[in-house]
Amino acid sequence: MSNVLSQTHSLMTKRLLSILSVANSVALTINAADNWPQFRGPNCSGVSESAKPPTEFAPGTNQLWKIAAPSGASSPCVWGDSIYLTAFEDGKLETICYARRDGKLLWKADAKAEKIEDFNTSEGSPAASTVATDGKHVVSYFGSCGLICYDTKGKELWRHVLPPAQSAGSFGTGGSPIIVDGLVLVSRDQVTGCSLLAVDLKTGEKVWEAARTGVSPGFGTPIFWKNEGAKEIVMPGSFKLKGYDLKTGVERWSLAGMPSFTCTTPVVGPDMLYFAGWSPGKEAGTGPSWEGMVKPADKDNDGVVTLEEAKAAHLDAFFKSLDFNGDGKLTAEDLTAMQAMMAKGENVLVAVKPGGKGVLTENQIAWKQTRGLPYVPSPLFYKDSVYIVRDGGIISSYDAKTGKPHYQQERLDAIGNYYASPVAADGRIYVASLNGRVTVLATGGELPKVLHRADFGERISTTPALVGNTLYLRTATALYAFGK
């Protein structure tokens, strides 16, 4: 009898251990998915399939905590109990780690940049690139000095030093690093010598660097695309969208007909890849003009605007971006040349079919749209639809397979410019305007259904992170956590 009991106990123990093993496996899977590892989360998609953030929130409403955040334009990166930001404070570039549960400062690390890259002081920041992590390595990128990798306690593991980037118009670096298959990938699009760089995640050594020929500098972030089994890195750029082999950096395909100035990042669906972008200058009256923008600063009417004159007219933040030939002065010829260049681009939302190689033709395009296009916010693929948000608080939604509009250019009653990209979870879309208004929408429908609006009363240029039951949001002066 005791033998039977012993065997029964042994069998029950094995079954219990098996159940616990499965439960632990499921828990680990859930925890692994419950992260926001880089700009816009998993593969820069802006989507969490597991998060259930609150629908209603505002300062003081469903607010778990709020802390003061230093100056910077990077979005929250979340893994485990840590939140990572970059910042520009007291002339230093820093990576900062906060506790997810209460916002407590855990550590900060100085990038020790010898020189700060040129950046637009009113619209940009030298700390604009979002951190990337795999839960063991924390990788920051600064256009001023390159890539730096820390462990989760803030110990520096390696750095890949790069000279200060010279971005288009001296706006400053905009793209963020990503981590794919043991590689850190980052765009080095500059005024001259655009490239895509891949370094080893463990050592920081360069694995490959692909020259990006035929493109002008852009501000997007690369993404990973498993293109019919081929592992690719897709990178937008002015005039062209390109795909590169993940292992070698060899260019596999390119698609022309892109905007002349790109700030957005592509997204991947189960069947296709989607890109949307808009640049001023293509439509009449949208580009900078001498008569309308610059001539009023020409106080001595000599046909030349100097830096001193630009400062007096509060144009100094845009001086370098308007100085098209780089001679240190603004003339009508600068603006004419800039408009001619920008007019060559094509503003478009495009769905790219998989399997293309070489120079892609119209046959590789599933569908296009040309209305309501975003300038800075990246497109969102969610629940078989593609969403885009343009300045003015205008949203459009399309069927992801056919491009048929669900609705086009509908107003959110949240006017202003938009720098943050839309994100989604639990059947809801979250959209933040530059002037601090956040709109929560239901997915689907023939018209946008607004579920909630919140006004933060200050600038929001960063994209929210959706993790677990919490929404993390960085404003100009604070980092918030909202949940129930």
Per-residue pLDDT for 227 more than 80?
yes
Q: What is the pLDDT of residue 241?
A: 95
List the end-to-end C-alpha distance of the chain, in Å, as a whole number. 54
If one compares 339 and 144, the residue with the highest pLDDT of the two is 144
CATH number of 42-279+345-482: 2.130.10.10
Q: Which CATH class is domain 290-341?
A: mainly alpha
Reported as half-sphere exposure (CB side, CA atoms, 13 A), residue 79 has a value of 22
pLDDT of residue 33: 60
Q: Residue 17: pLDDT band by 50, 70, 90 thresholds? A: very low
pTM attached to this predicted model: 0.87
423 vs 27, more confident: 423
- The most confident of the ranges 185-189, 272-276, 329-333 is 272-276
Reported as a single tens digit per residue, the pLDDT across 48-60 is 999 999 999 999 9
One-letter amino acid for residue 479 of the chain: L
Mean pLDDT of 209-217: 86
- Are 269 and 381 a contacting pair, CB within 8 Å? yes
**What tens digit of pLDDT does each residue of 281-327 get?**
767 566 677 777 787 888 888 888 888 888 887 777 677 767 777 78
Q: Would you put residue 92 in left (φ > 0), alpha (ψ -120 to 50) or beta?
A: beta
d(CA 460, CA 474): 7
Does residue 109 or residue 3 have the better pLDDT?
Answer: 109
pLDDT of 421 > 90? The answer is yes
| Whether residue 330 has pLDDT greater than 90 | no
Q: Is the pLDDT of residue 77 over 70?
A: yes
Average pLDDT, the chain: 90
What backbone torsions phi and psi does residue 311 show, to the nearest 5 degrees?
Answer: -65, -40
Q: Can you give the pLDDT at residue 170?
A: 79
* pLDDT band at residue 24 using 50, 70 and 90 as cut-offs: very low
What is the spatial distance between Cα 358 and Cα 255, in angstroms, rounded to a whole number? Answer: 9
